Amino acid sequence: MNTMMPPKPPAGVNIVPFVSVDNMMRLVLHVGVETFLAELAAYIEDDFRRWERFDKTPRIASHSREGVIELMPTSDGETYGFKYVNGHPKNTKEGLQTVTAFGVLSNVHTGYPALLTEMTILTALRTAATSAIAAKYLAPENSDTMAIIGNGAQSEFQAIAFKALLGVDRLRLFDVDPSATAKCAANLEGHGFEITVCRSPQEAVEGAQILTTATADKQYATIL
């Protein structure tokens, strides 16, 4: 019997590199968190400058009472990528993360995937870097004090990104959960910040030139 076999792909293209959470953390720590965020911000800013080249496909969201699961696809005509990400605020009560994510990058011309990677850590880094880019153009000149309302894990990335890109070195922290603020302050100790723990949002914003909210509460969320 004559069986037709599919042609073999070129060497290497059928091997998709995978970046695990552990490997991503090793990479970030090897490069240095501030350096990683600054270099990531430069790439993000370059992509904003070529905004017209990207597919602007709205994220595909599946909502439930517990949270949301989203697919976020885009392409610049050369590479195609998507991110799977969730947002489940209740997870913290069960000892789970609010956000988890992974993503794929592919070659548009062949359709072959080029990279499969965790994006939980990358999402935290990208969110912080993008926030700092916005502040780079919108915040008052020489801003050095930032209030952060919501002191979960994302707040730590935000603080380090603003320090790396804008030189912010004074933080005013508030969270409805005092233990979250205490943990945030402890984790940021040794990063060159002067940290003030505040008892209310009003106290947090006093004297701050920049205000960042890092909460998962959708009750009063307004999309502008």
DSSP state letters, 64-110 = -SS-EEEEEEEE-SSEEEEEEEEE-GGGGGGT--S--EEEEEEETTT
Cβ neighbourhood burial of 110 (10 Å; 0-12, 13-18, 19+): exposed
For residue 90, the number of C-alpha atoms closer than 13 Å in the C-beta half-sphere is 5
**The two three-digit tokens of residue 37, written as one number:** 């965020």
The partner residues of 140 in beta bridges, in order of sequence, read: none
Q: How far is 206 from 145, CA to CA, in rounded Å? A: 10
Q: How far is 122 from 139, CA to CA, in rounded Å? A: 24
Domains plus CATH for the chain?
A: 18-122 (3.30.1780.10), 139-213 (3.40.50.720)
Residue listed under structure tokens 């909502």: 63
**The two three-digit tokens of residue 103, written as one number:** 């993503």
**The two three-digit tokens of residue 58, written as one number:** 């709205």
Whether 100 contacts 85, CB under 8 Å: yes
Q: How far is 127 from 157, CA to CA, in rounded Å? A: 8
Quote the pLDDT of residue 215: 87
Q: How far is 38 from 62, CA to CA, in rounded Å? A: 33
Report CA-CA distances (Å) from 3 to 6, 28: 10, 49
CA dihedral 187→191→193→197, nearest 10 degrees, is: 0
The residues, ordered by sequence, that sit 6+ positions from 224 with a Cβ below 8 Å of its Cβ are: none
Element (H, E) at 113: strand 113-118
Quote the pLDDT of residue 139: 97
Residue listed under structure tokens 């994006």: 119
pLDDT tens-digit profile, the chain (224 residues): 455 555 555 665 668 899 999 999 999 999 999 999 999 999 999 999 999 999 999 999 999 999 999 999 999 999 999 999 999 989 988 999 889 999 999 999 999 999 999 999 999 999 999 999 999 999 999 999 999 999 999 999 999 999 999 999 999 999 999 999 999 999 999 999 999 999 999 999 999 999 999 987 666 666 55
